[in-house]
Amino acid sequence: MMKKATFSSGIFSLIAITLAGFWISSCKKDEVESASTDKGYNYYPVQNGATWIYRVDSIVYDDFVSGNPADTIRYWVKHVISDTFTDGIGSLNQKISRYIKSDSNSTFKFNAYFTVRKQKDQLEVEDSSGRYVKLVFPALLQRTWNGNTYNIQSPEYYEIISAPSKEQIGSVFYDSTLHVLHHNVKYLVQESYQIEKFARNTGLIYKRDKYLDITIRDTVKTQKGHDCTYNLEEYIP
């Protein structure tokens, strides 16, 4: 009788362990499937009427100017998704109107149009200089791609250099951001650095574009180029 009871207890224990393992496996599978469905599409909203207002600080270096060669300019840029259309390959595109104003109290004036095409595997932006692949999906840490795939420029490999993380930029706190590095080169005679940051449900929140040619004559070092930073001040969904 004791052996029979022991055998029955073993059967019940085996069933309990099997069920527990099945439950844990199901939970993990659900978590993986949930994570795999989040491709990162909402790092760039594309609904009509969405508006972004950026403060732009631009430093221009001119090696022909004596004394202090840096000229600092501040202005504001507004992007508005003004229309949606279908292109020649059947993909939806957003038409974005770009406006500029010289100071915080002046009125925005129209500057140019550019377009955004968000597909299941990538986000493309096209302006007067060409079409660029700004993001790829799923947007994962260390993913790399050629941002110049669809233009005539030399290949330039972008990389997601941060996993989604919380970040404060200025006075605004973002729950989840991605950092996309375009290039980071520093030589004796040249510096080049470009990065873009995207926030979930907001889009582009920060951009820095720095390019300097450096000349050294005897002990005098001069620079020519620019250092331009975009900071998002307001987003209107």
Q: Please check whether residue 135 lies inside any domain of the structure.
A: yes
Q: Please check whether residue 159 lies inside any domain of the structure.
A: yes
Residue 4: its pLDDT value, please? 47
Q: Answer whether 0.75 is exceeded by the pTM.
A: yes
- H-assigned helices in the chain: 2-37
Domain count, the chain: 2
* Same domain? 71 vs 3: no
* Same domain? 66 vs 132: yes
Per-position b or e across 126-153, b if 16+ CB within 10 A of its CB = beeeebbbbbbbebeeebebebbeeeee
* Same domain? 4 vs 73: no
Residue 65: its pLDDT value, please? 52
Q: Which residues of the chain have pLDDT under 70?
A: 1-36, 63-69, 219-221
Amino acid at 89: I
Strand, coil or helix: what is 37? helix
pLDDT by residue (tens digit) across 145-172?
999 999 999 999 999 999 899 999 888 8
Residue 25: its pLDDT value, please? 47
* Same domain? 28 vs 56: no
Strand, coil or helix: what is 33? helix
Q: Please check whether residue 149 lies inside any domain of the structure.
A: yes
Residue 31's domain spans which residues? 1-37
- H-assigned helices in 38-179: none
Q: Please check whether residue 173 lies inside any domain of the structure.
A: yes
pLDDT by residue (tens digit) across 99-112?
999 998 899 999 99
Burial class (CB in 10 A: 0-12, 13-18, 19+), 158: buried
Residue 12: its pLDDT value, please? 44
